[in-house]
Homo-oligomer: A and B are copies of this chain.
Amino acid sequence: MPSESDFLDWIRSQQSISPHVLLPAGDDLAILKWPDNELLLVGADQVLDGIHFDSSKHTPRQIGRKAMNRNLSDCAAMACLPAAAIATVALPRGAGIEFAKELYLGLRDAGGAFNCPIVGGDTASWDGKLVLSVMILGRAEGIAPITRLGAKTNDGLYVTGALGGSILGRHMTFTPRIKEARILAQSVPITAMIDISDGLSRDLARICQQSNVGATIDASAVPIHPDAIALSRQSGRSPLEHALHDGEDHELLFTCPTRPPAGTLIGRITADRSLLLVRNGKTEPLSTKGWDYPL
């Protein structure tokens, strides 16, 4: 029966050459050459069977891609470029080496699209369900990282795409908005940015909380994805509700005092710290119903 060692041997054979990587996966740690005076950004995101994917429905290649793309989307949210990634995988016992290879290829495909090699990790098998955790390193490369804490009163509030209903499939197949983020950040003074992972309302609340401001959203301006309309027919909730509160769109939500070259204006930052929704001429509180794990 193939073992972890066989899998690691195979991974070593798959490693690509990168100018930053002095020693790739295969030792206790990988060794990178980091550019002089370059900021180093780091973060991590995991995907869990039954929460972020369904192993009875999604292929390991899709699962690997999603795990990597969630992290690449965090790079987009800071307007940085990914530099390298590390992954740990807890494999259900008996999943098999082909399954493990497909997971790896999913990670590699998604990372490869943004020149982000996988430089290490850890594999174990257990009698639990699949867990895939990815840690990412990013580099600023000439653009100051954009945080969540710079939104200013009267800034416009923008999103890079239509929202809602990602659970119908887009949550597995989204494209991280790295290119868009870099173009935006080079063109206009973006004051705060986040990728929408837990829902527009909840992620907007994070920007507002950290920037110590509030926001008003114009309901009629929120771009609603066709999936939100399709899901509305099943859920009985309105397409707008789905666009405001569904998670895993992975579009960028950002604030900017000037007109950006891309993005839909959906509202404005306010000095008053409340979150409001203007709908049919009436102003109401915007609830933050997005994803939050009870512990």
Contact = CB atoms under 8 A, between A and B. Distances in A.
Interface in A104-135: 119-129, 131, 133, 135
Interface stretch (A58-66, A84-92, A160-168): A84-92
A61 to B, nearest CB: 17
Given A34-B38, A95-B295, A43 B86 contact: yes
Interface centre among A41, A50, A95, A99 (most CB of B within 10 A): A41
A80 B48 contact: no
Interface residues of A, number: 79
Interface stretch (A70-78, A227-235, A268-276, A278-286): A70-78
B27 A86 contact: no
Interface of A: 1-7, 22-23, 26-34, 36-46, 48-52, 74-75, 77-78, 80, 84, 86-88, 90-91, 93, 95-97, 99-100, 119-129, 131, 133, 135-138, 145, 147-149, 194-195, 210, 292-295
Contact of A88 (B33, B126, B133, B194): B133
